[in-house]
A and B are shown apart, each in its own frame.
Chain A
């Protein structure tokens, strides 16, 4: 998932006796594992939190096209170019069904996009980092999509029906994306010394931003408990981060690449890797808009929307012209 620090509007979880009858019934449904559907009762905070979470995810898919689009015109072979094009197309598709899932909560796609363009809505911090070499395309598939899947697979079981169903579809494609990214890394690591160095450099630059994708440490994560109670967040940030590190270390070893963390070490007692902390100050700066590409990414999306306004208006005008006579006949 690409949602980070989603505000639930609640600083603490409320006990059953503090809820009214509707809310209690709602929570009991969730506890029984029954999906909430758009027309069912839901507390206003649940609805708003989901809009924030799903739209943040959708925006991430859309903005996420840009760092990869940066290399699609320079892909090194026709086969790699075709695979990358297909991957970027999948991402646009993910954006589309996530926006649709959010629309069932009573917000329009236009409103969500306006919130993205004004800076009110966020997208994942990861897409504010630059793609400087072809190896970055491999690293994004391997690490960024790998981290996203960690979070998205549990969300297939989340409490809100349309979101859970969208995630089921997204996950199938994401696991293909991760494999294609790893396949790029394998080719680079089996290639020339320059290619191997390119792969290592990409891992060095992407490692910490990816570790940060899961969001701040649990003790600083003020909204997680409420989201967990609502079953729209099924594992904590630190749990998912640990899983990701445990999964990724052997993959890096297979590639012959080293992870840029001095503290990384297998802990036999815990049965997990110990690892260092990223620079959380950098994370909060990126979220605030100070990452290397925040301005470029948002400006590109705003320009695309502005440049395309005539196109969207023309389609609406054409439809109005050609539907009007039929509507009159019907009347």
Chain B
């Protein structure tokens, strides 16, 4: 690595990698059970993009890991416990109905696209490179999830009610995306990362526009919000997700697959 250029901190990269990994894991739970064959294919596509991004972020994080020098993407994915995960609480929320899954995807995609735009301009060339690749994929994710939110919101009475309920259920998990902490400030100051608070206004603008077209009522922007995922304080749901995902690596330590 070029010594003159700042490198993103290890934990900062974990946040990016864990978001992609945990959401991909959630989406893969839908395998073969979607509401239409085309949805099975499209959702798997998104899961595949996200797992690809997770691998890039976690591999890079592993290279910079001073504690466990040179941990691989798999060691990071399969051998950390819940408290060491740094993903947003939003992405670990259970799939629920397909309305819940799509709403979670939309709220995240809208943030993800903005975050990657910032990261594509990172002073850390590896971060910029990964973000640029992910940006193209996420532009498609956002187009797809926005389109479905509009069509399902403005579909039948039942679909509107389901999308509205999903929105209200998930809304309190969106605030965390814009709450910066010391790690965010350091990353932003070095030029490797960005200030998450800066994404709030454009996110609200975009989300507000799509929800209006979907005839859905946006909950108040100032509503009370959960937080803690970025610092490793998760909901009860994450432990079960990891127990399932990590089963083989935990049951057969040291085995190669």
A, B assembled together? yes
Residues in A lying within 8 Å of B, measured CB to CB: 62, 65-66, 68-69, 72-82, 85-86, 88-89, 92-93, 95-96, 99, 134, 184, 187-188, 190-192, 194-195, 300, 303-305, 307-315, 317-319, 321
* A73 and B48 form a contact (CB under 8 A): no
Interface string of B77-90 (1 = CB under 8 A from A): 11000000000000
Chain A residues whose C-beta falls within 8 Å of the C-beta of B254 in the assembled complex: 192
Contacts A72-B31, A85-B31, A304-B32 given; indicate if A62 touches B98 (C-beta within 8 A). Answer: no
Docked-complex contact B159 and A92, CB < 8 angstroms: no
Q: Are B35 and A311 in contact, with the CB atoms below 8 A?
A: yes
Contact of B255 with A312 in the complex, beta carbons under 8 Å: no
Q: Which of A72, A89, A318 contacts B155 (CB 8 A)?
A: A318
* Stretch of B49-57, B106-114, B127-135, B217-225 lying at the A interface: B49-57
- Cβ of B255 and Cβ of A194 under 8 Å apart? yes
> B4: shortest Cβ distance to chain A, in Å?
32
- Beta-carbon contact of A134 and B257 below 8 Å: yes
Which of the residues B37, B247, B249, B257 comes within 8 Å of A62, measured between beta carbons? B37
A81 vs B50: C-alpha distance when bound (angstroms):
12
CA distance A280 to B184 in the complex (A): 65
Asked if A134 contacts B73 (CB within 8 A), the reply is: no
Number of contacting residues on B, CB 8 A? 50
Q: What chain B residues lie within 8 Å of A192 (beta carbons)? A: 252, 254-255
Q: Are A311 and B255 in contact (CB under 8 A)?
A: no
Q: Can you identify 7 A-B contacts, CB atoms within 8 angstroms?
A: A75-B248, A78-B74, A92-B32, A95-B37, A300-B33, A304-B32, A311-B39
A-binding residues in B (CB < 8 A):
21, 25, 28-29, 31-41, 44-45, 47-48, 51-52, 54-55, 58, 73-74, 77-78, 97-99, 150-152, 154-156, 158-159, 162, 244-245, 247-249, 252, 254-257
> Chain A contact residues: over half helix, strand or loop, or mixed?
helix
> Is the CB–CB distance between A96 and B51 below 8 Å?
no
Contact A88 B44 (CB under 8 A): yes
Residues of B within 8 A of A88 (CB): 31-32, 44
Q: How far is the CB of B251 from chain A (nearest CB, A)?
A: 9
> Least Cβ distance of B221 to chain A in Å?
27
Q: How far is the CB of A57 from chain B (nearest CB, A)?
A: 14
The reply to whether A314 and B245 form a contact with Cβ atoms under 8 Å apart is no
CB A169 to nearest CB in B, in angstroms, measures: 15
Minimum distance in angstroms from B159 CB to a CB of chain A: 3
A159–B35 Cα distance when bound, in Å, is: 34
A65 with B32: CB separation less than 8 A: yes
Complex alpha-carbon distance, A199 and B86, angstroms: 35
A116 → B minimal CB distance (Å): 12
Q: Are the C-beta atoms of A191 and B55 separated by less than 8 Å?
A: no
Indicate if the CB atoms of A62 and B51 lie closer than 8 Å.
Answer: no
Q: Is the CB of A312 within 8 A of B52?
A: no
Closest chain A CB from B152 CB (angstroms): 5
**A313 pairs with B244, CB closer than 8 A:** no
**A307 x B98 contact (CB < 8 A):** yes
Q: A78-B54, A89-B45, A317-B156 are in contact. Are A73 and B36 (CB under 8 A)?
A: no
A321-B257 CB under 8 A given contacts A62-B32, A85-B31, A304-B33: no
Q: Across the interface, do A134 and B159 meet the contact criterion of CB distance under 8 Å? A: no
A308 and B51 form a contact (CB under 8 A) = no
Contact call B151/A85, Cβ cutoff below 8 A: no
B151 contacts which of A95, A194, A304, A315 (Cβ < 8 Å)? A315
Apart from A65-B31, A73-B244, A191-B257, what 11 extra A-B contacts exist at CB < 8 Å? Answer: A65-B32, A72-B28, A76-B248, A77-B78, A78-B21, A82-B48, A86-B48, A92-B32, A300-B33, A312-B36, A313-B155
